[in-house]
Amino acid sequence: MAKTNNIVFENNICSNAGSGWGHNQRPNPTGRQICFWDGNTAQTSSVFIRNNTFKNAKQTCFYISKKWKGIDDLVLENNKVS
């Protein structure tokens, strides 16, 4: 089985998801800045998303599928939405 661990997404500014020229050409335009899809089949642990700023997403700054494997070990800390 595949393993994914010790992922750190930290100290970023994410802005304008869904505002680019190609967004409307996508088959499923969503405008999300971070996505955790249900297609993850890896054993996932120690995912950290912290100290980030999220701005102006067309739909949502953060999306997580109900079926995503690893939610029990996901750490969200000190993120801002503006």
Q: CA–CA separation, 59 vs 63, rounded Å?
A: 9
Say what the pLDDT of residue 9 is.
95
Question: Distance between CA 48 and CA 76 in Å, rounded?
Answer: 6
DSSP labels for the chain? --EEEEEEEES-EEE-TT-STTGGGSSS---EEEEE-TT--SEEEEEEEES-EEE--SSEEEEE-TT-TTGGGEEEES-EE-
pLDDT in the model for residue 1:
80
How much is the pLDDT for 10? 98
Q: What is the pLDDT of residue 23?
A: 74
pLDDT tens string 5-50: 999 999 999 988 888 777 778 787 788 888 888 878 888 899 999 9
pLDDT > 90? residue 72:
no
pLDDT of amino acid 12: 96
Higher pLDDT, 59 or 80: 80
